[in-house]
């Protein structure tokens, strides 16, 4: 099993464990490498839950791009940090499902199923687990918020 798949499994396992506090922001730490993953040769939109997307990504092969050039990393981080925040989410990027309470008071969990184009993993210095960012059609989910994806940013990612 390659390192990326191992890391994604660890992230998914940790997503099921209650967390105390938040992961450190990439703004305060040095990003050493960025990995961008998608299914197939192009960032194909797929309407699946996050777990199902990862299973498909693992089973049929994946496209991966690694960014290690400091100038490119700085450009990406700058774009992420300056992106327009669309909304706060009821979940974070590590959540496999959204907790909902129906009118009677029963708790239900609904899988998170945006149209996923890919994931971006930010490998931060001295942090064993990367920060995960879910890439959607024209937005991305980071931490517990959804942001607008700029045209320049999407073009850059798409050309990798």
Q: What is the pLDDT of residues 33-79, one digit of tens each?
A: 999 888 866 677 677 777 777 788 878 767 788 999 999 999 999 99
How many Cβ atoms are within 10 Å of 45's Cβ, its own excluded?
13
Span of 5-14, 58-67, 98-107 with lowest mean pLDDT: 5-14
Q: Is the model's pTM score more than 0.85? A: no
pLDDT category, 17, cuts 50, 70, 90?
Answer: very low
Handedness of CA 23, 146, 119, 47 (dihedral sign): positive
Average pLDDT over residues 77-86: 92
How many Cβ atoms are within 10 Å of 148's Cβ, its own excluded?
13
| 159, pLDDT greater than 80 | no
Strand partners, 116: 46
Span of 10-19, 32-41, 102-111 with lowest mean pLDDT: 10-19
Q: What is the pLDDT of residues 110-154, one digit of tens each?
A: 667 667 788 899 999 888 889 989 888 788 999 989 999 888 888
| 83, pLDDT greater than 60 | yes
Contacts of 81 (CB under 8 A, 6+ apart): 27
Distance CA(74)–CA(90), nearest Å, equals: 29
pLDDT category, 156, cuts 50, 70, 90?
Answer: confident
Average pLDDT over residues 90-116: 72
Distance CA(102)–CA(31), nearest Å, equals: 41
Distance CA(59)–CA(53), nearest Å, equals: 10
**Chain center to CA of 57:** 14
């Amino acid at each position: 099993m390659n390192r990326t798949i191992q890391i994604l499994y660890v992230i998914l396992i940790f997503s099921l464990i209650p967390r105390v506090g938040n992961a450190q922001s990439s703004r305060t730490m040095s990003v050493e490498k960025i990995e961008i993953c998608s299914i197939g040769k192009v960032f194909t939109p797929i309407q699946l839950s996050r777990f199902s997307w990862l299973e498909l990504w693992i089973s049929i092969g994946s496209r991966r791009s690694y960014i290690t050039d400091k100038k490119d990393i700085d450009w990406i981080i700058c774009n992420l940090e300056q992106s327009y925040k669309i909304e706060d989410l009821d979940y974070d990027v590590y959540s496999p499902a959204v907790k909902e309470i129906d009118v009677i008071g029963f708790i239900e969990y609904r899988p998170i199923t945006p149209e996923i184009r890919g994931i971006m993993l930010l490998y931060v210095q001295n942090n064993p687990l990367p920060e995960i960012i879910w890439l959607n059609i024209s937005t991305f989910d980071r931490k517990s918020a959804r942001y607008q994806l700029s045209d320049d940013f999407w073009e850059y990612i798409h050309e990798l």
